[in-house]
């Protein structure tokens, strides 16, 4: 048996313009038109179909800029519940092919189909089977990258969009990989890419032919070493079927810029309540709490705090959020967006919060009682007092 035959066969399956494709599926009149998921004068683009992308519209772009680029485009509000519904059905299709499925987001996943080839054929035949079933059953398309590891499979899927298949032969990985721009490597964001450009490293091949020690000196031990390995096409991670959500976040873009500390803290409380409810529904607790603040000029800053023990309580988490915001010492600064993130999540059943001298009852038990009431009478049946007036106006 050759080395190639002993290697795994990994697929990266990525839906094409997922949010926009679901909208087109639900409303066929949108097909062939430029569709942008993102609405509101001060919102941002969540997704754009390929017709809209021809005009330069991209995800995370302010909606007003997208409208300036394509005034004729159709702008619709995101419908996350609907996207999750379709995602569940898509993941079921993957699981019919192999039990080794690692969802990365609602619209993409890694599949290890090494053991499925005996029944379903080659990696390409399995990819074609998946694409056909997704289109027939869900009315949307996907692109599939195929290789012997996750890194190369993901890059391959990006290079065959939309509605394509690209298989990278293990023996030709470097021929495919090295001419690519350095920014195509995982972990190379704008700042890292800028550092690489200053070093004269423009392609993946440039990085591969730079001593590991040099990359570590400039980028740090973890980033430099990882970048070097990936530049040579080496990725030893398995497809992980037990995926634990690492983070839960919530954010809000205001209709009008806010500069009132009271109003901003009220929004932070609202977001904290929303995020913590989702976290407790999933039976998680958080180790790290983060906030994000975006100013009127789009400059964005963030702060985070890691607590001694994982926590689940709305009030105790909001106290961390509040202190993080107050530590910024912002006085009458116009703010357009705030967000919170609950990170480093752990399963709640493993959490032991009581410390010496602490009562066995308190906010934790109160929160669980609140969750039970909301579960019976609805999410708006019980809220922090300072949010009640706003809720009545909604």
Question: What amino acid positions are annotated as catalytic residues?
Answer: 108
DSSP 382: S
Containing H/E element for 158? helix 150-158
Distance CA 209, CA 298 (A): 38
Question: What is the side-by-side strand order in the sheet with 101-105?
Answer: 101-105, 108-112, 10-15, 142-147, 165-167
Tell me whether strands 165-167 and 142-147 are parallel, antiparallel or unpaired.
Answer: parallel
Is 14 annotated to bind ligand? yes
Distance CA 237, CA 239 (A): 7
Q: Report helix angle 261-281 to 363-377, nearest 10.
A: 80
Question: What is the side-by-side strand order in the sheet with 47-48?
Answer: 47-48, 35-37, 74-76
Going by C-alpha positions, the residue among 144, 150, 107, 106 that lies closest to residue 122 is 144
Distance CA 218, CA 261 (A): 40
Q: Torsion-angle region of residue 33: left (phi > 0), alpha (psi -120 to 50) or beta?
A: beta
Distance CA 287, CA 343 (A): 6
Is 175 annotated to bind ligand? no
CA distances from 238 to 7, 137, 235, 241 (A): 12, 29, 9, 9
- As a 3-state breakdown, the chain gives helix, strand, coil percent values, each rounded to 5, of 45, 20, 30
CA distances from 110 to 66, 106, 196, 207, 254 (A): 31, 12, 29, 26, 36
Return the half-sphere exposure (C-beta side, CA atoms, 13 A cut-off) of residue 245. Answer: 18
Residue 47, φ and ψ in degrees, nearest 5 = -165, 160
Q: Which residues are annotated as a binding site for Mg(2+)?
A: 14, 107
């Amino acid at each position: 048996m050759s080395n190639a035959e002993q290697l795994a066969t990994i697929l990266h399956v990525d839906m094409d313009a997922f949010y926009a494709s679901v909208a087109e599926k639900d409303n066929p009149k949108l097909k062939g038109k430029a569709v942008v998921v993102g609405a509101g004068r001060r919102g941002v683009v969540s997704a754009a179909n390929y017709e809209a992308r021809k005009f330069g519209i991209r995800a995370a772009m302010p909606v007003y800029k997208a409208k300036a680029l394509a005034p004729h485009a159709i702008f619709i509000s995101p419908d996350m519940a609907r996207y999750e519904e379709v995602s569940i059905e898509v993941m079921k299709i993957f699981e019919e092919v192999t039990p080794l499925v690692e969802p990365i987001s609602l619209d993409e996943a890694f599949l290890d189909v090494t053991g499925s080839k005996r029944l379903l054929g080659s990696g390409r035949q399995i990819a074609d089977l998946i694409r056909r079933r997704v289109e027939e059953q869900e009315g949307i398309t996907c692109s599939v990258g195929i290789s012997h590891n996750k890194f190369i499979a993901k890059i391959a899927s990006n290079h065959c969009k939309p509605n394509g298949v690209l298989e990278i032969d293990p023996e030709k990985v470097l021929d495919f990989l090295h001419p690519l721009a350095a920014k195509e490597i995982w972990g190379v964001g704008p700042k890292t890419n800028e550092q690489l450009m200053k070093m004269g490293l423009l392609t993946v091949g440039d990085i591969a032919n730079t001593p590991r020690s040099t990359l570590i000196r400039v980028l740090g031990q973890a980033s430099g070493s990882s970048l070097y390995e990936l530049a040579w096409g080496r990725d030893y991670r398995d497809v992980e079927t037990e995926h634990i959500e690492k983070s839960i976040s919530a954010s809000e873009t205001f209709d009008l810029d806010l500069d009132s500390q009271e109003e901003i803290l009220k929004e932070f409380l609202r977001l904290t309540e929303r995020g913590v409810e989702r976290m407790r529904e999933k039976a998680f607790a958080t180790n790290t709490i983060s906030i994000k603040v975006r100013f009127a000029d789009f400059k964005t800053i963030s702060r985070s705090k890691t607590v001694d023990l994982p926590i689940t309580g709305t009030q105790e988490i909001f106290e961390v959020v509040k202190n993080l915001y107050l530590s910024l010492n912002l006085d009458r600064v116009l703010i357009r967006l705030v967000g919170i993130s609950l990170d480093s999540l752990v399963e709640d059943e493993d959490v032991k919060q009581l410390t010496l001298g602490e009562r066995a009852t308190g906010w934790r038990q109160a929160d669980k009682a609140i969750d039970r009431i909301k579960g019976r009478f609805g999410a708006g049946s019980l809220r922090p007092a300072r949010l009640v007036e706003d809720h009545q106006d909604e």
